A and B are shown apart, each in its own frame.
Chain A
Amino acid sequence: MTLEKPLTKDIPADGRALDLGGYERVGGYQALRKALRDMTPQKVQEEVKNSGLRGRGGAGFSTGLKWSFTPMGADAPRPKYVIANADEMEPGTFKDRHLMEGNPHQLIEGLILTAYANQADIAYIFIRGEYKFSEERLARAVTEAYAAGYLGKNILGSGYGLEMYLHVSAGRYMCGEETGLLNALEGKRANPRAKPPFPQVSGLWGKPTIVNNVETLANVPHIINHGAAWFQSLSHTKDAGTKLYGASGKVKRPGLWELPMGTTMREILEEHAGGMREGLEFRGALPGGASTDFLVPQHLDVPMDFTEVQQAGSRLGTGTMVVLDDKTCPVGMVSNLIHFFAQESCGWCTPCWSGLNWAKQILKALEDGEGKSGDLEKLEFQAKFWAPGHTFCALAPGAAEPLQSALKYFRDDFERHIQDQCCAFQRR
């Protein structure tokens, strides 16, 4: 039973962090010892690839495949970098914070293993500025890890060395986008970079760089300890492992749960979140943060994994869902989301900086009862305008998802705003 929650089982219930001693007592750093002792970097890469681990930062890209692009061997450019993406700014998402506050060493061990697998020399943890506890606890844990010989020049006498630094961000959603993150780390404006070249080839300071999400990295020690087959077995579906699922909005018990990958939305909502609050009906949810398409009651039995959610017309994203009830205005909700995206646009590409602002203005007008006929067509036009490939990075395409799906599923509400020249929902 406990093995089914590898990521969270050791997190103390009292809100404190597991310290080094505690972490070692539950088997911490055994994976690192094992890898350094028995496994070549290639072997670690292989194990992770075979495990089927897919990135938990939102895009679900195969972690092993990502690593396989890193130039290896003696003529690979140096230094190489690995980065833990701990920026967690996707609205509705609160999973990485839990992992960092509760078990910082798990992330550090995962990051060291990732570094070892890619023969990296330097690791950064890029953490958002508001995560004060995470920052403090990670800082302490890094110090502990250095003191215990898990970091530094010659880790556990293996000859492999790694330096690890914490970088506390100064804000902005764009810093979570992996190439924006690179620019932020370099002390620049966090505009995204063109891909190709991919960071694995030309990343931080032009050197090979791997960027992975906190939850992704936290899985790595367990995969090394228990093997790829075990990791596959944790899941209900094809996509391997467990997943930190969350629910916020007007459910009875908002929260975060580590469950087998592929747990249905219904189970998460009804069993773990306790269902909707009294007197409220479920109208829909963003399954994985602000930049995913709404799913609606007909999708409740969709297993929440990368493949199935995509088939249902959305994305698993971060796996933390935001629930819309029948007394909350979908137009207001989308307006809030688009406001967020417009405000966080880095200002680099035209569809994003210009289109998001326009959509924001239209949605505000709708909310204020100043909608005009033709507004919905303009919004639809904008959502198409922000399609992947049209913009430079995935921020605006992410914004398109809640907007286009809301226009599809809640079109009546939008139309009523224009007809009635007001919002029919009561706000508290």
Chain B
Amino acid sequence: MLTTEERQEIEVEMARYPTREAVCIDAMKIVQRHRGWVSDESIRDIGELLQMSSADLDGVATFYNLIFRKPVSPHVIMLCDSVSCWIMGYDRIREHLTARLGIQFGETTADNRFTLLPIVCLGACERAPAMTIDNDLYGNLDPASVDRLLEGCK
């Protein structure tokens, strides 16, 4: 069941597009903002609201990398793996992160605090290497600054 809040937010979006289908990406993102990810059940609920089948929605959801169809932990780390960051030492940051968190890309730590994902160029090439934690951007990373950032996460 969608919450009243989710429903209301989706309805606001509906006023902005001429078709229900057009709202589907926003709808999935709204649910994700509230719950962290989009479950099969949420897909069905959104489908009911927008008159779309699960296959319709899943076809869209699986196209876009920022829609999570699997649970993630409260803190999502996305490390840029594109060219400028690669030149500036992405490998070292990745090794540091995976060693420190004990997980690989696509995984969640055992204590369910961090999920680590790769991301394409964050448009922060002038401060490469860069990553986001919970969509906040951090650049000029080195192992020490990564450690500080992780410690800062509640």
The answer to the question of A153 belonging to the interface, with a C-beta cut-off of 8 Å to chain B, is no
A97 close to B83 (CB less than 8 A): no
Within the complex, what minimum Cβ distance (angstroms) separates A274 from chain B?
A: 12
Which A-B residue pairs are the 4 nearest by beta carbons?
A: A248-B125, A170-B64, A171-B66, A91-B82
Judged by DSSP, the binding face of B is mixed
Q: Bound complex: CA of A184 vs CA of B28, how far in Å?
A: 13
B84 close to A322 (CB less than 8 A): yes
Q: Bound complex: CA of A188 vs CA of B60, how far in Å?
A: 6
Using an 8 Å CB-CB cutoff, how does the interface string of B123-134 with A read, 1 for contact, 0 for none? 111111000100
Quick one: given A320-B125, A340-B83, A428-B92, are A172 and B21 in contact (CB under 8 Å)? no
The answer to the question of A37 belonging to the interface, with a C-beta cut-off of 8 Å to chain B, is no
B136 close to A132 (CB less than 8 A): yes
- In the complex, chain A residues whose CB is within 8 Å of the CB of B24: 187
- In the complex, chain B residues whose CB is within 8 Å of the CB of A249: 84, 87-88
Residue of B nearest to A175 (CB): B64
State which of A133, A205, A246, A340 has its C-beta within 8 Å of the C-beta of B120. Answer: A340
List B residues 137-154 near A (Cβ within 8 Å): 137
Q: Bound complex: CA of A427 vs CA of B64, how far in Å?
A: 32
Binds B, one of A154-162, A250-258, A414-422: A250-258
B64 close to A172 (CB less than 8 A): yes
- In the complex, chain B residues whose CB is within 8 Å of the CB of A190: 63-64
Residue of A nearest to B52 (CB): A187
B128 close to A248 (CB less than 8 A): yes
Interface range, B side = 35 or more
B126 close to A256 (CB less than 8 A): yes
Q: Bound complex: CA of A324 vs CA of B83, how far in Å?
A: 10
Q: List B residues at the A interface (Cβ < 8 Å).
A: 16-19, 21-26, 28-29, 59-60, 63-67, 78, 81-84, 86-89, 91-92, 119-128, 132, 135-137
A94 close to B123 (CB less than 8 A): yes
- In the complex, chain B residues whose CB is within 8 Å of the CB of A94: 123-126
- In the complex, chain B residues whose CB is within 8 Å of the CB of A337: 83
- In the complex, chain A residues whose CB is within 8 Å of the CB of B67: 170-171
- In the complex, chain B residues whose CB is within 8 Å of the CB of A344: 120
B66 close to A129 (CB less than 8 A): yes
Q: Bound complex: CA of A172 vs CA of B21, how far in Å?
A: 19
Q: Bound complex: CA of A408 vs CA of B44, how far in Å?
A: 52
A132 close to B60 (CB less than 8 A): no
Residue of A nearest to B20 (CB): A187
B122 close to A130 (CB less than 8 A): yes
- The winner among A94, A129, A255, A344 for most chain B CB atoms within 10 A is A94
- In the complex, chain B residues whose CB is within 8 Å of the CB of A129: 29, 66
- In the complex, chain B residues whose CB is within 8 Å of the CB of A168: 26, 29
Using an 8 Å CB-CB cutoff, how does the interface string of A227-267 with B read, 1 for contact, 0 for none? 00000000000000000001111100011100000000000
State which of A92, A167, A185, A324 has its C-beta within 8 Å of the C-beta of B82. Answer: A92
Within the complex, what minimum Cβ distance (angstroms) separates B140 from chain A?
A: 10
- In the complex, chain B residues whose CB is within 8 Å of the CB of A91: 82-84, 120-121, 125
Within the complex, what minimum Cβ distance (angstroms) separates B31 from chain A?
A: 12
Within the complex, what minimum Cβ distance (angstroms) separates B37 from chain A?
A: 13
- In the complex, chain A residues whose CB is within 8 Å of the CB of B81: 336, 339-340
Residue of B nearest to A337 (CB): B83
- In the complex, chain B residues whose CB is within 8 Å of the CB of A307: none
Q: Bound complex: CA of A169 vs CA of B66, how far in Å?
A: 8
Q: Bound complex: CA of A323 vs CA of B126, how far in Å?
A: 11
Q: Bound complex: CA of A190 vs CA of B119, how far in Å?
A: 18
- In the complex, chain B residues whose CB is within 8 Å of the CB of A60: none
- The winner among A96, A130, A325, A328 for most chain B CB atoms within 10 A is A130
A130 close to B128 (CB less than 8 A): no
Q: Bound complex: CA of A248 vs CA of B80, how far in Å?
A: 14
The answer to the question of A189 belonging to the interface, with a C-beta cut-off of 8 Å to chain B, is yes
- In the complex, chain A residues whose CB is within 8 Å of the CB of B91: 427-428
The answer to the question of A165 belonging to the interface, with a C-beta cut-off of 8 Å to chain B, is yes
State which of B16, B18, B124, B132 has its C-beta within 8 Å of the C-beta of A205. Answer: B18
Using an 8 Å CB-CB cutoff, how does the interface string of A171-197 with B read, 1 for contact, 0 for none? 111000000000011111110000000
The answer to the question of A332 belonging to the interface, with a C-beta cut-off of 8 Å to chain B, is yes
